[in-house]
Amino acid sequence: MRFFISGYNINNCVGVVCNNGPPGITPALAKDTLRANARFHTIAGWIDDPKAMKVIQEYRCRLTPELRQSVDEQVDARQAQVFTKAEAARAEMQALRKPPVWQKPPLSVEFKMTPDAKPFVSPKNTSPFSVVDNRLHIRAHANTYAICTSH
C-alpha cells in the first residue's frame, strides 16, 4: 500500500514524503519513512548540502528487497497484536462502565457530630461539613477548599 505524507505542502506524489521546508531531511525522518514504507524525493537544493546527501545515501542503501521483507514482518507483528489490544481495550471499557468496587478502608472513623477542629473553608463554600449516618461528609465546589485540622 502506498500513501502520501505531507510535512509541508501537498502535491500529487503518491507515497512520497513531502518535506520541502525546515527541518529538512534528517536521519530520524529517513528511518521513520522507511519504517512506514514511504519514500523521499530528492530536492535539487539538497545536492549542495553534504548533511542531506549523507542522509539520502544512507536512505537509498536501504531500498532493497530486504526492506520489503522487513516492512512485511513489522506489519505482521503489529497485526498479530490487534486482537490482544482490542480485547484489552474492550475489557477496560467494560470495567469503566461498572460501578466502583469498594474495599475495606485502612481507617474508618465514626462521627456523631462534626469534629471539634478548626475549619478552613473557601468563602465560596457554604456549610461544607455534615455528619450523615455517622460519616463525616465534606462537600466543596470545584477549585475551592474545605478542610478541618485538629487544634
Three-state DSSP class for residue 59? helix
pTM of the model: 0.45
State phi, psi for 3 to the nearest 5 degrees: -155, 175
For the chain, what percent of residues have pLDDT higher than 70?
83
User: Rounded to an integer, what distance in angstroms lies between the CA atom of residue 46 and that of residue 54?
Assistant: 10
Confidence of residue 1 (pLDDT cuts 50, 70, 90): very low
pLDDT recorded at residue 20:
66
pLDDT for 23-67, tens place per residue? 678 899 889 888 878 787 777 888 888 998 999 999 999 988 898
3-state SS of 76-110 is HHHHHHHHHHHHHHHHHHHHHHCCCCCCCCCCCCC
Angle between helices 50-61 and 27-35 (to 10 degrees): 30
